[in-house]
Structure formats: C-alpha cells, structure tokens
C-alpha cells in the first residue's frame, strides 16, 4: 500500500526522494509528470521556492483565513437574515438590511456606539500622554531603571478579569481607596460605578492604569532611537527642556505613537472582558455599555443572533477604520 503511494507520488512529481530526505530533480521539466510541470510553472510565476515552501505557510494560512475572514463573511451573511431564538441555523433564503435599520432606530445602539468612540479616543489619548511622560522621566538616566520599568509594566501582565476585581474594590462606595483618598481633600464620596455620567471615565482611568506601562515601553524604545546629537543641538541653541521635547523630540516619536495607538485601540475594543467581569454578567453598569458588550448581550443573552451579528459588523468596520490606514502605512514603509 505504502509502496504504491510512493510510486504514484514519484510518477506525479517526476522527482525521486533520496534516502536522507533530500530531493533531486530527475531530468528536465519536460519529462516531469503533470504536477511537476504545474509546480515548475508556479515557481516561474511566483519565485523559485514557491511550491517547496507552500507546505510551511499554506495550511496555517488557510486555517487562519477560514476562522478570521471566512467567519467575518459568514457573519455578514447572518446579519442579513432574521435569525433569532432557539432555531439551530439561520434561514439564508431571505436577505435584507433590516437589522441595520433596526440598529439605527435603537437608542441603546447609538449610545453604545458613542460610548465606544469616547472610550477608544479618551483611553488611547490619555494612555499615550501618561506613557510619554513616564518614558521621558525614566529616560533621564535614573537609577533602578529596570525596577521602575518592571513595576510600571506589572498591571499589563494581569488579565481584564483580574484587574476588574481590583478596580471594583478601588471604586467601592464606602471602603474604596479612591473615595478615601479624595475624602482627605474633603471631596466625595462619589458613586463611581453607579453614576452613569462618570462610570465611563472611571473605566477609562482603570484601563489607563493597566496599559500606560505599555505605552511607556514603546516610547522608551522610540526615545532611545533618537541620536543624542539632536538633544545636544537643541541645548546649544539654548532651548529650554520643555521646548526641546515639544519641538525636537516629540515629532520624532511619530512611528512609536502610531504603533502604540493602534495596539491600545485594539485593547480598547476588547474592553468587553473588563466590563463583563466588573458586574459578572452581560449587562455592564448603566452608561458604560459599548458595542462589544451590547453585541454579546444581544446574541448570547437575548438570542437575537442576527442583530448581534449586525452590531459586530459595525464594530468590525470601526476596527478596520483604525487598522486599514495603519497597514497601508506599514506597507508603504516596506515593513510588512
């Protein structure tokens, strides 16, 4: 059986396997079998190692493409159906945009979309600013630099599920540290998670706590890449430290800012885990509902599958608006 397979393979490939696992070409391509000829043609088109390298990247690529892009297209299809409730599978015979018009007339959806945008912009902006300040401070030739860096990065090693527990305790109305510390200034107490005008900012602050260390690491690498001559030139010109950073150093951190911002926005889009763990359920505190939580709630708690799928498509388009330009930017710089 195995021998038959080997002979068949040899015929088809027009090649002979060597005992040590190497392969030698047998004669010209003209004498090779049909697959050999096809592979030679492919190699001519795509490059000399194309066919031989394909077993390495093609199966993983297909698996990834099925789960990522196949699923997104499938999701788009489901969002066009009326799939809901306990039915096993959607009915694909009738497709329309009903779910999208429903979303536009759903005030909960509009609120969630606005909250998502506010969360993304505020979280990314504040985290970048804190990270940059930290990076500038750490870069001033301090002692115990590694120690400080480790401490600043520590929250990032924790998961949203865990940090949500910590911040639930920090924001506790009667005994939380946040209320205790503003109490020493005669302020508060504030119901951080119960007041729907504040809760989103409380979440932004907690997320900033978790990821500003990451922004610092990226900025630190960016600062170290700037030649010291630039600092010296600015100092010779008599510029103050503040002016030097604003005019000379920060403009050169564009690349670091872009890559950190993209990653932070992706973390922001994944804030679902944090909000879910904060309340231990699908319904986040009033005023902190974002598209990610609304999508999962509609689909898995209310069984409005196709409505959830439609919200997911909106969320995906928002992510695409961030990542698309970034990928084009990286492609132009030949960084892919």
Partner 1 sequence: MSDARTGGNTTSRADRLVRAAEKLTVERVLLYVVLLGMASFYLIPIESGLVTSIKTSTAVIETVPFAPPGPSGFTLQKWQQAVDALLFGMGNSMLYAVPATILSAFIGSITAYGLTMPTWKQAYKAPLIALIVAGIFIPYQAVLVPLTQFWAQYVQLGQLLGPLWALGISNDYAGIIELVVTHVAYGIPICTLLFRTYYKTMSKEMIESARLEGATLRRVYRRIVFPLSGPMFAVVLIYQFTQIWNDLLFTLVLVSTESSPAAPVVLILAGLGTSLEGQDFALRMAGAFLAALPTLAVYIFFGDEFAEGVAA
Binding-site member from 29, 95, 162, 226 for partner 1 (CB under 8 A): 162
Asked if 68 interacts with partner 1 (CB under 8 A), we say yes
- Judged by CB under 8 A, the chain residues 108 through 147 that form the site for partner 1 are 134, 137-138, 140, 142
Shortest CB 137 distance to partner 1, Å: 6
| Residues from 41 through 60 that contact partner 1 (CB under 8 A) | 46-50, 52-58, 60
Which is nearer to partner 1, 173 or 198 (by Cβ)? 173
Examine residue 92 and tell whether it contacts partner 1 (CB under 8 A): no
- Give me the count of residues in the chain: 336
Residue from the set 126, 203, 276, 287 that interacts with partner 1 by CB under 8 A? 276
User: Binder to partner 1 among 101, 159, 196, 235 (CB under 8 A)?
Assistant: 159
Q: Which range of residues in 28-36, 106-114, 188-196, 292-300 is near partner 1 by CB under 8 A?
A: 292-300
| 214 forms part of the interface with partner 1 (CB under 8 A) | yes
One-character DSSP codes across 240-259: -HHHHIIIIIGGGGHHHHHH
Q: Which of 8, 151, 225, 321 binds partner 1 (CB under 8 A)?
A: 151
Shortest distance (Å) from residue 97 CB to partner 1: 17
**Binds partner 1 by CB under 8 A, chosen from 10, 33, 172, 329:** 172
CA distances from 1 to 4, 8, 12, 33 (A): 5, 11, 17, 21
Distance of CA 256 to the CA centre of its chain: 16
Residue 249 and residue 223 in contact, taking contact as beta carbons nearer than 8 Å: yes
Q: Going residue by residue from 216 to 255, which x/- string records binding to partner 1, judged by CB under 8 A?
A: -xx--x----------------------------------
Q: Looking at 8-16, 32-40, 191-199, 266-274, which segment touches partner 1 (CB under 8 A)?
A: 266-274
């Amino acid at each position: 059986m195995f021998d038959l397979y080997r002979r068949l393979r040899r015929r088809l490939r027009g090649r002979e396997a060597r005992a040590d696992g190497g392969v030698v070409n047998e004669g010209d391509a003209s004498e090779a079998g049909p697959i050999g000829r096809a592979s030679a043609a492919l190699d001519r088109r795509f490059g000399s190692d194309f066919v031989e390298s394909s077993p390495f990247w093609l199966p993983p690529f297909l698996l990834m493409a099925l789960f990522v892009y196949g699923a997104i297209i499938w999701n788009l299809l489901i969002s066009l159906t009326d799939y809901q409730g306990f039915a096993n599978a959607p009915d694909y015979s009738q497709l329309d945009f009903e779910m999208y018009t429903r979303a536009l007339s759903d005030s909960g959806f509009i609120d969630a979309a606005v909250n998502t945008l506010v969360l993304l912009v505020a979280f990314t902006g504040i985290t970048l600013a804190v990270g940059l300040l930290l990076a500038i401070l750490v870069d001033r030739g301090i002692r115990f630099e590694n120690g400080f860096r480790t401490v600043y990065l520590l929250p990032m090693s924790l998961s949203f599920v865990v940090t949500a527990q910590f911040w639930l305790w920090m924001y506790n109305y009667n005994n939380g540290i946040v209320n205790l510390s503003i109490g020493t200034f005669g302020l508060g107490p504030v119901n951080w998670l119960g007041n729907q005008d504040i809760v989103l900012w409380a979440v932004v602050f907690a997320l900033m706590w978790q990821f500003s260390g990451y922004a610092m690491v990226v900025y630190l690498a960016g600062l170290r890449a700037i030649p010291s001559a630039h600092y010296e030139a600015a100092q010779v010109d008599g510029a103050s430290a503040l002016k030097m950073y604003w005019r000379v150093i920060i403009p050169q951190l564009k690349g670091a800012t872009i890559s950190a911002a993209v990653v932070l926005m992706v973390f922001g889009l994944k804030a679902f885990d944090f909000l879910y763990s904060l309340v231990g359920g699908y319904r986040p505190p009033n005023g902190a509902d974002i598209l990610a939580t609304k999508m999962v709630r509609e689909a898995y708690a209310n069984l409005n599958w196709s409505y959830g799928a439609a919200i997911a498509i909106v969320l995906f388009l928002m992510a695409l608006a961030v990542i698309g330009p970034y990928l084009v930017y990286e492609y132009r710089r030949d960084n892919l």
